[in-house]
Amino acid sequence: MFPRIVDAYTNEGYVFEMGSPGVLWTGVTPREQWRPRRLYETPSHRQIAISIRDAWFFLLVGDALKEANDQGEQAGLVIGNSFGISTVMIAQMLAPAPIDAIDAETSNGSAEGSALTRRVCGRLGLDVQVTRGFSPQDLDGACRRERYSFVLIDGEHTDEQIVQDFNGIKDRLSERCVVFLHDVGLRDMDAGWLAVQQIAAPMGLRGFDLSATDSGSSVLVRGVGSLERMLEQTCPGLRTHNDVYHAGLQIPMPPMRAETDVLVVDDGERVAFFGAGQDLAHYGGFILRSPGSIAGVFDDDPAKVGQTRYGQIVRAGDELGGANADAVVLSTHGHADSARARVRALAPGLIERVYPRAGLSVPTRVVRPPGGGGR
């Protein structure tokens, strides 16, 4: 598959670049403009595309969707086309299924990219339509199908926009489908990804963090059992590994991050969260993905008791002692010291398993070992 794609871009007069261990992207550059680049040199707009590891995940998704769906049920939707590498790869892996792509063409050279995508797909005989427009407001005009088995969200990289993009496609999804959200880790869109998971969970869509990808991509999966099993056995969480900064590309340089406390919740263990305010959002993804590992969410504020946060009904702090928790996470960072004293009074048996540990002011990362036992 990939050699045919490279040939098609080459025949259009572009150099297809595969990156290197120190470079995040694949990309294409007009042959007459190509030159070697210096270390840490900023790439041109044409030279930023999915990484090879993203492409590998695309192939896994394509195989799993072919197992799950009949050919007539397959269709793809791409939000954010750029120079078409993702679009062409998705079209090739789902061929002969139709693929619809939308791009606002507001970034430098993106109109050139849309035209190039159409020519490359013509060379490869792929059923691809590229529409100029904005998501979600122009999706009706860009979509030829009512339902899509694969959707790539790779448009404007902000928390607000990925939520809008997901809301625009959530009712267009097939019963067995995959939604791939690109660059979540690289562009620090954790809040947007959490909001998307909250909307998606009641729809039966399970969220997974692709910590192995250079850009920290994420996926939602529904009804594709083989892919779900693989992901739950391999994906511990987007920022599990010491709050890792996702980028093969070393611009910007990874920031200096404080040492992060990590709580590993093994099979059969349950964790309680003390504090149901805004800081609970740091753990919302874990709570949504691993409800069987949650002993409860507790708070001393009567106004918060009874509210539902990430699928859990907030309980009074006094109930913590009877929660049968194996560990407690202080999900109120601004009052961590007083909360620690309160938790130790309520549940003295957990004195050695209260996180973050005394002296650490950064949020605790809560993870499960890969293996899938959190459901």
Compute the distance between CA of residue 213 and CA of residue 351 in angstroms, rounded to an integer: 37
Q: Do the beta carbons of residue 233 and residue 370 sit within 8 Å?
A: yes
Q: Do the beta carbons of residue 371 and residue 267 sit within 8 Å?
A: yes
Nearest residue to 102 via CA among 123, 80, 124: 80
pLDDT bracket for residue 46 (50, 70, 90): low
Alpha helices per DSSP H over 29-99? 52-68, 85-94
What does the block give as tokens for 269?
A: 């263990």
Cα 200 to Cα 45, 260, 288, 364, distances in angstroms: 32, 29, 10, 25
For 252, phi and psi rounded to 5 degrees?
Answer: -75, 160
- Spatial neighbors of 106 by CB under 8 A, at least 6 apart, are none
Residue 106 has a pLDDT of 87
**pLDDT of 291-338, one tens digit each?**
999 999 999 999 999 999 999 999 999 999 999 999 999 999 888 889
**pLDDT higher than threshold 80 for residue 243:** no
CA atoms within 13 A on the CB side of 228: 18
Residue 375 has a pLDDT of 41
The dihedral of CA 107, 116, 219, 26: what is its sign?
Answer: negative
Q: What is the mean pLDDT of residues 22-47?
A: 71
Structural domains present in the chain = 52-232 (3.40.50.150), 262-367 (3.40.50.720)
**pLDDT higher than threshold 70 for residue 254:** no
**pLDDT of 194-224, one tens digit each?**
999 999 999 999 999 998 888 889 999 999 9
Q: What is the mean pLDDT of residues 261-285?
A: 93
Sort 107 into a burial class: Cβ within 10 Å, 0-12 / 13-18 / 19+: middle
Residue 209 has a pLDDT of 92
First to last CA, the chain: 36
Mean pLDDT of the chain: 89
